[in-house]
Amino acid sequence: MEKLKITGSRVLSGSVITSGAKNAALPILAATILTEGRTRLFNVPGVVDMITMRKILQNLGVEAKEVEGRRDAVEINIDSLTSLEAPYDLVRKMRASVSVLGPMLAKYGRARVSMPGGCAIGERPIDMHLAAFSKMGAKIEMNHGYVEASAKRLRGAEVCLDYPTVGGTENTICAAVLADGVTVIDNAAREPEIADLAAFLNKAGAKIEGAGTSRIEIEGVASLSGVDYTIMPDRIEAGTYAIVGALCGGEVVVQNCNPGHLTVLLEKLAEAGCYVSATDNSITVRGCKRPRPVNIATHPYPGFPTDLQAQWMALMAFTEGTSIVREAVFERRFMHVPELRRMGAEIRVDGDTAAVTGVERLVGAPVMATDIRASASLFLAGLAAKNTTIISRIYHLRRGYERIEEKLKGLGAAVETVDD
């Protein structure tokens, strides 16, 4: 099995280009089910999760192929769809597969999707997605591990989410765009990826207002047409590289990103003592010798993103003092902690809170990745640590970071893939 070998303690500098956002591209690819004819998506990240979503569409009979000569572009032709089922074998690989449920139900009146199980970072139920569909008139049944949803035509409804779930907001928007009447989603997630999904759907003919705020109004329309659409930049990838600058800079310039999506992270980096500056589409970060300890608590957007918590902890492992990291979105998102400890980090966990006491040096060790962001955290720790770090199970990293070794080598990192 492929592993990553990192020789740490190098000063990294230069520029790195951000890819398209995985967490926008996934629901948008699923939402193409709502359209008619051909759609082309650009700035699609070359990550394994996108391949899985393409397989889900292909399994429905949909044509989903790379645009010739453009490895960041996908062309989808929905008219060849023949099936309305997302099978267990694909859904178990990626929970975001559940985002085909709303689009299939809205357009074809039924859908059968394997129920996603728990995952490394938490239970992650989909009760709020299903409650919203029920409110819109769908019949929901559980059968042999599958969710079976049906409705002749969904009708607009008032949906108040118990929690601003990202996937639940996206699935409800998709269900509502072809429904009969107006749907209002209150306590909606405000993540930029929601606004990107809505921008795509509006370009295709939907009538969605308020995406990016906690109240979204959707007036159902009869049909959506195929369009060309460019996916937003990946704020979590950009944030990960900004933290690389803080840990190992030198001066790292993260290009093709939207700094406005990372306000809290940039404030926290400055608080830690790093030099941070931003233009409309780039971020420059220079590290300092030892960062200052800075507390964070993860929250839905615009709070500190849970998807950057593990990477932030790698930075805090090097501070002069103790910082508190609280994970308030997922219940098990500290899987990187025992691995960071194997490299010499001093971290105590109590429930949803970790106290990180910085040390002068971490020392490379064999470590194991458990999810996408935990892998990134270990990668970052390895870049800053003394000696060599070997990370196994890097298929997690491949799910969410496009060409990460190549990008970091461009900054001067010593990293290579090795086989068992």
Chain residues that interact with ligand EPU, rule: CB under 6 A: 23, 26, 96, 122-129, 163, 165-168, 189, 306-307, 329-330, 372-373, 400
CB of 3 to ligand EPU, least distance (A): 20
CA dihedral of 91, 93, 96, 97, whole degrees rounded to 10: -30
Quote the distance between the C-alpha of residue 67 and its chain's center. Answer: 23
**Separation of alpha carbons 39 and 33, rounded Å:** 10
CB of 28 to ligand EPU, least distance (A): 11
249-255/282-286 β-pairing: antiparallel
CB of 384 to ligand EPU, least distance (A): 22
CA contacts within 13 A on the Cβ side of 75: 8
- At a CB cut-off of 8 Å and minimum separation 6, what does 87 contact? 59, 114
**Separation of alpha carbons 75 and 52, rounded Å:** 15
Cβ nearer to ligand EPU, comparing 12 with 308: 308
CB of 26 to ligand EPU, least distance (A): 5
**Separation of alpha carbons 386 and 389, rounded Å:** 9
Q: Exposed, middle or buried, 289 (CB in 10 Å: 0-12/13-18/19+)?
A: exposed
Q: What stretches of 100-203 adopt beta strand conformation (E)? A: 110-114, 139-143, 146-150, 158-160, 182-186
Cβ nearer to ligand EPU, comparing 226 with 300: 300
Cβ nearer to ligand EPU, comparing 199 with 274: 199
CB of 202 to ligand EPU, least distance (A): 20
- The dihedrals phi and psi of 301, each to the nearest 5 degrees, come to -55, 140
Question: Which two structure tokens, joined as six digits, stand for 378?
Answer: 């270990």
274, amino acid identity: C
Question: Which residue lies nearest ligand EPU, judged by its C-beta?
Answer: 167
Cβ nearer to ligand EPU, comparing 72 with 196: 196
CB of 306 to ligand EPU, least distance (A): 5
Cβ nearer to ligand EPU, comparing 123 with 141: 123
**Which strands, in side-by-side order, build the sheet including 414-418?**
366-368, 388-392, 3-7, 414-418
Cβ nearer to ligand EPU, comparing 89 with 123: 123
CB of 400 to ligand EPU, least distance (A): 5
- Contact between 315 and 252 (Cβ < 8 Å): no
Which of 222, 183, 218, 223 lies closest to 197 in space, CA to CA?
218
Question: Which two structure tokens, joined as six digits, stand for 93?
Answer: 């690989």
Ramachandran class of 287: left when φ > 0, alpha when ψ lies in -120 to 50, beta otherwise: beta
CA contacts within 13 A on the Cβ side of 84: 17
What is the sign, positive or negative, of the torsion defined by CA atoms of 391, 397, 403, 404?
Answer: negative
Report the catalytic residues: 119
Cβ nearer to ligand EPU, comparing 265 with 274: 265
**Which strands, in side-by-side order, build the sheet including 249-255?**
12-17, 249-255, 282-286, 275-278
Cβ nearer to ligand EPU, comparing 116 with 245: 116
CB of 17 to ligand EPU, least distance (A): 19
